[in-house]
Amino acid sequence: MKKKYWLTGGGLILFGIALYVTLLYYHFAGLLFCAIGAVILLFGLADAIKARFPKTAKTVRILLRIGVCVVLLAAIGTGIWVGICAGGEDDPKADFVIVLGAGVNGDVPSKSLSERLDATQAYLERYPDAIAILSGGQGDGENISEALCMYRWLTERGIAPERLRLEERASNTEENIRYSLELIEREFGARPKTAAVVSSSYHLARASLLAKEAGLDMLGVPASTDNPIYFCQMFLREIVGVWYTWVF
C-alpha cells in the first residue's frame, strides 16, 4: 500500500480514536474520522492489489466510488431537510409544549440543556396559557433527573410551578415524546393531536419523525447552539440519526 494511503487513512483513524476517548461530547466526530480513514485505507488496498488482481482492484474501486457518491448525495439531501426543520414554526402555539431533556452535570444543566431552557422560557412567556411537559430521566453523572433540573431552572426564573409537569422516566427522544403524551392523557383525559416540542434546532427533524410515529403533529421550537463546532458535529450526527429512524 502506498504511503499516502496508510499515512492519511491511519492518521485519521488515530485522530478519531483520540477524539472519541478524550472529548466527551465529540464521540460522533471521532467515529466519523475513523470511518473516513477506513474508506481511504480501502482505496489504498485496492491500489495495492492492482498489479496482481487488476479486475478485482478495478471492481473494488468502482464500488467504493459509487458507495461514497451515494452516501454524499443522501447526506446532502437529508442535511437540507434537517436544516429546513431546524428553523421551527413561525407560530408554534399549542396547549402543551414538550421539552426534550439533555445532559445534567451533577445538578446543573449542561450547555445544551441551558439552551433548550432559554427557548422554553421564551415560549412560556410568549404563550402564557401553555403547559410545559419537562421530559428526561436521570442518567450517569446526573444527581437529579433532567426533568427536575429543568423544573428548578424555570421556576427560579419566574415560571409558575402549576404550568410545569415532570416526566422523569425517558432516556431517549422516542420515550420523551411517548411518555409525555401518556402523562398528558392521564392528567387531562386525552392525548393532544398537536403539541409544540422544544429541542436543539439540529434535532427537530428527527424529533418530528418520532412524533409522527407517536401520532403527534409536532410544532418545532428551536433552541440555538452557540458553539459552531459542536453544532456542525451534531448536525452531521442527526443526518445519520434520521437514516436510522427511517430504517428502524
pLDDT digits (tens, 9 = 90+) for 97-126: 999 999 999 999 999 999 999 999 999 999
Residues 17-48 have pLDDT tens digits of 999 999 877 889 999 999 999 999 999 998 89
Query: How far apart are alpha carbons 113 and 145 in whole angstroms?
Result: 12
- Cα 146 to Cα 24, 86, 97, 189, 236, distances in angstroms: 18, 23, 16, 25, 25
CA 103 to CA 140: how far, in whole Å? Answer: 9
Mean pLDDT of the 75-104 span: 97
Q: What are the pLDDT digits (tens) for 133-186?
A: 999 999 888 999 999 999 999 999 999 999 999 999 999 999 999 999 999 999
What residues contact residue 47 under an 8 Å CB cut-off, 6+ apart?
Answer: 1, 2, 5, 57, 61
Cα–Cα separations (whole angstroms), residue 207 to 23, 54, 100: 25, 47, 9
How far apart CA 132 and CA 50 sit, in angstroms, is 62
Q: What is the pLDDT of residue 53?
A: 87
Residue 12 has pLDDT above 90, yes or no: yes
pLDDT at 106: 93
Distances (CA, A) of 243 to 40, 68, 209, 247: 23, 16, 11, 6
- Give the global pTM: 0.90
pLDDT at 2: 83
The domain made up of 96-226 has a fold known as: Rossmann fold (3.40.50)
Task: Give 190-207 pLDDT, tens digit per residue.
Answer: 999 999 999 999 999 999
For the chain, what are the domain ranges? 3-85, 96-226
Q: How confident is the model at residue 228 (pLDDT cuts 50, 70, 90)?
A: very high
